[in-house]
Amino acid sequence: MELLKKTVASIEDPDWRAGEKAQQRLNLLTKPQGSLGKLEDMLLSLAAIQGNPLPVLGDKAVMVMVGDHGVVAEGVSAFPQEVTRQMVLNFLQQGAAINVLAHHAGARVIISDVGMAAEPIQHPDLIQRRVRSGTRNMAREAAMTEAEAIAAIEVGIELVNQEIDRGTGLIATGEMGIGNTTPSTAILACISGKKVEDLTGRGTGLDDAGLIHKQKIIRQSLQINRPDPDHPLEVLHKLGGLEIAAITGIILGAAARRTPVVLDGLISAAAALIACRMNPKCRHYLFASHLSQEPGHRIMLEEIGLEPVLYLDMRLGEGTGAVLVFHLLEAAVKIIHQMASFEEAGVSQRTDAYYTKECSD
């Protein structure tokens, strides 16, 4: 608990002055002001996060947290729980989508078992930090004890600190855990107070009957556990997952170290929602990579105060959406480092029609 308390207390606002200085530099570059849209916004956020008007990214990593869910026993997933272990083996054999996309982005994939239910996998590239073998069935009792949730959060804090210490400057969150859209949606329903029917998606492909049943199980979980929406740790331990808790720790730890985090989909956003309720300043260190097909994802991002960068109808998880945004963040950084100013290029800086929207379009 001490590591969690210390980390939450040490999160500060970004250096907005560095962002202002970056804006001043952008205004001098050979383009109409603001003409690169969200790329410029991303660059300014990076500058403020790092406290550096000329930000650099350093090494890149996708941190995939693995955990299983007792609520799968209620039939809320189209896939059986053993798929979690099978997919972890696929990650380790470099055969999954996240392996392909991370390699394309020049990022390392870090796989950590914080709560898989199956027999542990012995592999040199798998980090073994299991808190317990899957959560309990939240439709019958609390998914975790408070101590277990804290332990999983602190695993995430420790792992992200290790990454930052080794030079990683950009983190993407990923996850693997069959059934994890159910606890993520339950977390959102509790905190937002919105109707379960408006938040619940089909996950890995439920049919209409399966979707109705999933909604029923989420409502049952809320009724049995009755978590206080104003106490994020209580919401997490009663309704969450071990991988969600670990991602919460990654977000808190990275924010405390002034390191940007790119969120993936619904599960990562659920962790971000918890982290931002623990310390609202976390929000400034986050980028929302994409908007998934899960209906709750958009509402989750609105609750946090983030806008997605990409709209690709993705719903895979693993960190696949997040790692795609690495390319855009790198492009944003290269703009301020490599693009010439009007003076450097010998181009007249004009304030007439060149700057009008009609002309720039």
Return the active site residues.
Answer: 318
Name the DSSP letter for residue 206. Answer: -
Alpha carbon distance 87, 77 (integer Å): 15
- What separation, in Å, do the N-terminal and C-terminal C-alpha atoms of the chain show? 54
Strands of 33-74, DSSP E: 59-67
Per DSSP, the three-state class of 181 is helix
Helix (H, G, I), strand (E, B) or coil at 251: helix
Query: Where are any strands of DSSP class E within the chain?
Result: 59-67, 108-115, 126-128, 168-176, 261-263, 286-290, 308-310
Grouping H, G, I as helix, E, B as strand and the rest as coil, residue 207 is coil
Q: What are phi and psi of 336, to 5 degrees?
A: -75, -25
Q: Alpha-carbon torsion 218, 219, 223, 227, what sign? A: positive
Q: What count of other Cβ atoms lies within 10 Å of the Cβ of residue 115?
A: 29
Give φ, ψ of 45 to 5 degrees.
-65, -45
Which value, to the nearest 10 degrees, does the dihedral of the CA atoms of residues 312, 317, 322, 327 take? -70
Is residue 58 within 8 A of residue 104, CB to CB? The reply is: no
Distance CA 133, CA 338 (A): 49
Task: Specify the amino acid at residue 38.
Answer: K
Residues 285, 254: contact at Cβ < 8 Å?
yes
Q: CA dihedral defined by 159, 160, 166, 172, rounded to 10 degrees?
A: 120
CA distances from 122 to 127, 319, 339 (A): 9, 23, 48
